[in-house]
Amino acid sequence: MKIHDTILGLIFALIGVAVLVTVSGYPKMPGQDVGPAVFPGTAGALLTVFGLMLFVKGRLAPARMRGLVEVGPWVASPRHILAGLATLGGILAYTMLANRLGFLIVVPPLMFVWHLTLGIRWPTALVSALLTTAIMWGLFYKVLGVPLPWGLLTRYAF
Amino acid sequence: MDAVVTAFGMVFNTETLLIIAASSIYGLFVGAVPGLTATMALALLVPLTFFMDPIPALAAMVTTSAMAIFAGDIPGCLLRMPGTAASAAYTDESFAMSRNGHADTALGAGLVFSAIGGLFGTVVLIACAPILAEFALNFTSFEYFWLILLGITCAIAISSDRPLKGGIMLVLGFLVASVGLSNPAAFPRFTGGNTDLMGGIGFLPLLIGMFATSEIIRYALDTKARPPIIDQPIVNVFAGMWRLTVKYPVQIVRGSVLGTVVGALPGAGSDIAAWMSYAVSKKFSKEPEKFGTGHVEGIVESGAANNSALAGAWIPALVFGIPGDTLTAIVIGVLYMKNLNPGPTLFTTNPQNIYAIYILFIFANLIMVPFGWATIKVAKRILAVPRAILMPVILLFCIVGSFAMNNAAFDIGIMLVAGFVAYILEENDFPVAPAILGVVLGPMLEENLVKSMIKSDGHVADFFERPIAGVLGVATLVVWTWPFLRIAIGRLRARQPRSAA
C-alpha cells in the first residue's frame, strides 16, 4: 500500500507536535539542566521538522502516483485480501482469546485458517495445523517452560 | 593463555556444538528460502537464546547469521530471487551464470569466497577489537556521546539513498525507546497511565514484529507468482575454485577489506557491502563489459564482502556497544539480556568470553564449507518447500516467541503493531534498519548526554574539551553541515578563476 509522501509527512509532523506537547508537561530535575523532557523533546522536534520536509518534498516531486493512496494488486484478489485480514485478525484474536480459551483450543483453528487463506488444501492444512500446534506447545511449554495459557482446559493441565 | 584454554572449553563442548550444528541448519534453511531474511532468522532466534547460557546463545547467533548470509545466494542463483538482502547485489549475475550452465561455479564461488571473506573479517576483528578496546577504556560520556551521534549520522548518510526517510525512522526509534520508566530521571514517559508500558516497549516483540511479522504480511498480500526453479544439474561446486582464487586474488582481498570496513561502520551491513563491492569490482575489472552476462568476478568480490561485513560489524558492537548493522543491533540486545554488557570492560573483565566469540567466528566460517556444500546439494528440495505452509508456522512462532520473555499478551500486541507499521513504512521506501538503531542507541545516547551535561554543568564547550571528544564532535558537525559546506566550497571555487583572471 503506497501512501503519498505529503500524507506521511503530515502524519509524522503531527506525531512530532504531539510528542512536544506531551513532554512540555514533564518536570525539571532539581539542580540539573536536563530533565526527562530533553531527549524525547529533541526527537519530537526533529520528527516535526523531518515530517514537514517530507511534506514539502512530496509537494515538489513530480507526481508518480495516481492518487494520494495506492493499494497493491492484492485488492483485486479476494484470497489475498482474506489472507491479509486473517494474518492481522488472527494475531489480534489470539491476544484476546488465548487466556480465556487456552492455547490448545485457539491455535489449531487459527493455523488451519491461515493455511487455507494462503492457498493450502484442507487435508494438508489440517495435518500441518495440528502438528505445528503440538510441536510449538511441546517446545515452549514442556522444554522451555513458557506458561502458555490453558484456559478452559486448566482442569486437565499436565 | 588460561583464558584462551577456557574459551576453547566453552565452545567445544557437547551442548554448544549441538547448538552450532542446529543453528547452521536453521540459518542455511532460512537464508535459502526467499522472503525469509537473515535478520528474520536472528530475530526469531532471540526468544530461544533467552533460555540458553551466554556462549551457546552467541554461538547460535554467530552461526545462524553467517550461514544465512551465504545461503541467500542459493535462490538468487536458481530462482533469480535473493534469499537475503545481502545477495541482491549479484542475483542477476549468478542467475545469468546458471542459465549459461554454470550454476555450480556460481554457487561454489558464493560458498568458498563467503568463507574466505568471513575469515578475513574475523582476523580483522581479532586484531583491531582489543586495540580499540584499550583506547576506549579512557572514553568518558563525552566521547561516547559524540561517537554515537557520529555513528548514527554515518548510518543514515551511507546506508540509504533516502536520508530523510532514514532520519524519520531513526527518530521514531528514539521515541519508541523513550517510552516507560527506564530513563535517567526514572520518570514515566508516554505511558498514558498504562502499567504495561511502564517497563517500556519490549525489544523482543519489536524485533519480531519488524523483521518477521512484516514479512508475513507482505507474503500474504503478494500476488506475484513465483518463478520456476532453473533446471540445472549441480555436479561439483568446488571445481575451478582454486583457479578462481589464483585469477582474482586482488578482488578477494579488496572485497574482504571493503566488506569489513563497511560492516564496521554503524548501520551499514552486508547488503550495502555487497552492493558497493559489486560496483567496485565492475569499475576496476579488466572486462567490465562481461558484468551482468554471467561473469563470476563480481560474485567472487561481493560474496567475500558480504560475509566479511558480518565480522566487521562486531567490532564497534563489542568495543563500544554500537551496532555495525541490524544483525549486531539484535546481538547487542541479547548481550545485555545475558549480562555481557558490550564495551571495553568486556575485554578486561571477561577475556574468555571475547576469545570464545573469536573461536566461534572462525569455527562458523570453517564449517560453512561442508554445511553449505550439503545445502547446495539439497537446494532444489529446500526451494520446493511450500512457503504457504512455512508462513503460518513462522507466524505462530512470532506469537509464542513474543510472549515467551515476559509471559505477557501485551507483548503480542506490540509485535502486531510493530509488524503492521514496519510493513506499511517499508512499502513506502522507509528503511527499517535506522529504526532498530534508534531503539538500541537511543537510551545510550540519552544517558551519555545527561551524564555529560551534569559534568559540564551545562557548558557546551566542555563537549569539545577532551581531545578525542573534540575530534569526534567536529567530525560529527562536519558531516551534518556537509551539504551546505559543499555548496559554499563550490561557490568559492567558482569565484576563484574570475579573481585570478
Query: What is the pLDDT, as a whole number, of residue B500?
Result: 46
Instruction: Say if residue B501's pLDDT is above 70.
Output: no
Cβ pair B217:A88 closer than 8 A: yes
Instruction: Say if residue B61's pLDDT is above 90.
Output: yes
Cβ pair B171:A47 closer than 8 A: yes
In a domain, B499, yes or no: no
Query: What is the pLDDT, as a whole number, of residue A120?
Result: 93
Does B176 or B152 have the greater pLDDT score? B176
Alpha helices in B321-408 (DSSP H): 326-337, 345-349, 351-377, 379-384, 387-404
Cβ pair A26:B189 closer than 8 A: yes
* Average pLDDT value for residue range B366-374: 93
Residues of A in contact with B396 (CB under 8 A): 107, 110-111, 132-133, 136
Residue B405 sits at the vertex; the CA angle it makes with B403 and B407, to the nearest 5 degrees, is 50
Helix or strand or coil: residue B492?
helix
B130 near A CB under 8 A: no
In a domain, B482, yes or no: no
Based on the number of CB atoms within 10 Å of its own CB, is B217 exposed (0-12), middle (13-18) or buried (19 or more)? Answer: buried
B407 near A CB under 8 A: yes
Does B499 or B204 have the greater pLDDT score? B204
- Reported for B14-20, long-range contacts at CB under 8 A and 24+ positions apart, including other chains, are B15/B53, B15/B56, B16/B55, B16/B56, B16/B59, B19/B52, B19/B56, B19/B59, B19/B60, B20/B59, B20/B60, B20/B63, B20/B360, B20/B363, B20/B364, B20/B367
B411, closest residue in chain A (CA to CA): A95
Does A88 or B338 have the greater pLDDT score? A88
Cβ pair A87:B216 closer than 8 A: yes
B183 near A CB under 8 A: yes
B 20-59 near A (Cβ less than 8 A):
48, 51
**The three-state (H, E, C) secondary structure of B215-270, written as one string:** HHHHHHCCCCCCCCCCCCCCCCCCCCHHHHHHHCHHHHHHHHHHHHHHHHCCCCCH
Q: What is the phi/psi pair of residue B279, to 5°?
A: -65, -45
Cβ pair A54:B216 closer than 8 A: no
Residues of A in contact with B221 (CB under 8 A): 72, 74, 80, 83-84
In a domain, B496, yes or no: no
pTM of the model: 0.90
Instruction: Say if residue B362's pLDDT is above 90.
Output: yes
In a domain, B157, yes or no: yes
Instruction: Say if residue A16's pLDDT is above 70.
Output: yes
Cβ pair B424:A1 closer than 8 A: yes
A35 near B CB under 8 A: yes
A97 near B CB under 8 A: no
The whole-chain average pLDDT of chain B stands at 89
Residues of B in contact with A50 (CB under 8 A): 164, 167-168, 171
A10 near B CB under 8 A: no
CA distance A129 to B72: 28
B193 near A CB under 8 A: no
The proportion of chain B whose per-residue pLDDT surpasses 70, expressed as a percent, equals 98
Instruction: Give chain B's end-to-end CA distance (angstroms, integer).
Output: 69
Nearest one of B246, B404, B372, B222 to B307, comparing CA atoms: B372
A53 near B CB under 8 A: yes
* Average pLDDT value for residue range B123-137: 91
The cell numbers describing B316, all together, are 564497534
For the segment B259-272, what is each residue's pLDDT rounded down to a tens digit? 999 888 877 788 88
Q: Which of B168, B392, B446 sits opposite A54 (nearest CB)?
A: B168
The whole-chain average pLDDT of chain A stands at 91
B166, closest residue in chain A (CA to CA): A50
Q: How many structural domains does chain B have?
A: 1
* Average pLDDT value for residue range B387-414: 92
Q: Using pLDDT thresholds of 50, 70 and 90, give the confidence band for residue B487.
A: confident
8 A C-beta contact, residue B116 and residue B302: no
In a domain, B295, yes or no: yes
Residue-wise over B168-177: b if at least 16 C-beta within 10 A, else e?
bbbbbbbbbb
Q: Where are the domains of chain A?
A: 2-70, 75-156
Q: Which residues make Cβ contacts (< 8 Å) with residue A84, sequence separation at least 6?
A: A74, B217, B220, B221
Residues of B in contact with A150 (CB under 8 A): none
Cβ pair B428:A27 closer than 8 A: no
Which neighbouring-strand residues pair with A3?
Answer: A69
Task: Give the up-direction half-sphere exposure of residue B170: CA atoms within 13 A in the CB hemisphere.
Answer: 26
Q: Which of B183, B392, B450 sits opposite A114 (nearest CB)?
A: B392
Q: Using pLDDT thresholds of 50, 70 and 90, give the confidence band for residue B161.
A: low
B222 near A CB under 8 A: yes
Based on the number of CB atoms within 10 Å of its own CB, is A147 exposed (0-12), middle (13-18) or buried (19 or more)? Answer: exposed
Among A6, A22, A50, the strongest candidate for a mutation testing the B interface, having the largest count of B CBs within 10 A, is A50
CA distance B411 to B419: 12
**The three-state (H, E, C) secondary structure of chain A, written as one string:** CEECHHHHHHHHHHHHHHHHHHHHCCCCCCCCCCCCCHHHHHHHHHHHHHHHHHHHHHHHCCCCCCCCEECCHHHHCHHHHHHHHHHHHHHHHHHHHHHHHCHHHHHHHHHHHHHHHCCCCHHHHHHHHHHHHHHHHHHHHHHCCCCCCCHHHHHHCC
Residues of A in contact with B177 (CB under 8 A): none
Query: What is the pLDDT, as a whole number, of residue A157?
Result: 82
Residues of A in contact with B193 (CB under 8 A): none
CA distance A87 to B412: 13
Instruction: Say if residue B348's pLDDT is above 90.
Output: no
What torsion, rounded to 10 degrees, do the Cα atoms B47, B50, B52, B56 define?
80
What is the distance in angstroms between the Cα of A20 and the nearest Cα belonging to chain B? 11
Nearest one of B315, B338, B340, B337 to B328, comparing CA atoms: B315
Q: Using pLDDT thresholds of 50, 70 and 90, give the confidence band for residue B159.
A: low
Which neighbouring-strand residues pair with A69?
Answer: A3
Residues of B in contact with A3 (CB under 8 A): 424, 428
Q: Which domain holds residue B284?
A: 2-224+237-465
B225 near A CB under 8 A: no
For the segment A34-59, what is each residue's pLDDT rounded down to a tens digit? 788 899 999 999 999 999 999 999 88
CA distance B65 to B45: 10
Cβ pair A50:B185 closer than 8 A: no
As a whole number of angstroms, the longest Cα–Cα distance in chain B is 78
* Average pLDDT value for residue range B452-474: 87
Cβ pair A46:B51 closer than 8 A: no
